[in-house]
Amino acid sequence: MGRLGELERTVMEVLWDRGVPVLVRDVVDALAARDLAYTTVMTVLDRLEKKKVVRRQRDGRAWRYEAVSNREGYIAQLMLDALDLTGDRSAALTRFAMSVSEPEVEVLSEALKQRDDTGPA
């Protein structure tokens, strides 16, 4: 999947916050404080679509864009992609587990219990 650039992340934040397919104009309006050109936002959305981070659908002569996954799903995929970069996933996971805070340990433990109850995702 790959990491996103700063402007791509900003555009994705709009899509994640909206939660429904939006027009390019909606994104431009949401980012009015950044004073971005319509064509700039359109280009960013086109790049995100090519990266398969967003999908688009026709709406008359325009396109509506929406995130392929939610914010949490995207971050989880980044974490899995990072694990793929190592030759030793177990070592990387162990190092990660040893570095998280106690509240995060509790969240992970609860998630693993839920997984055990329902089976792998």
Specify whether 106 is located in the same domain as 59: no
3-class DSSP state for residue 19? coil
Q: How far apart are CA 45 and CA 78, in angstroms?
A: 19
Specify whether 20 is located in the same domain as 53: yes
Q: How far is CA 45 from CA 1, 13, 21, 81, 118, in A?
A: 15, 12, 12, 22, 36
Domain membership of residue 73 (yes or no) is no
Specify whether 96 is located in the same domain as 62: no
What residues make up the domain containing 21? 6-67
The answer to pTM > 0.75 is yes
pLDDT per residue over 33-82, tens digit each?
A: 999 999 999 999 999 999 999 999 999 999 999 999 999 999 999 999 89
Q: How far apart are CA 21 and CA 15, in angstroms?
A: 8
Specify whether 63 is located in the same domain as 92: no
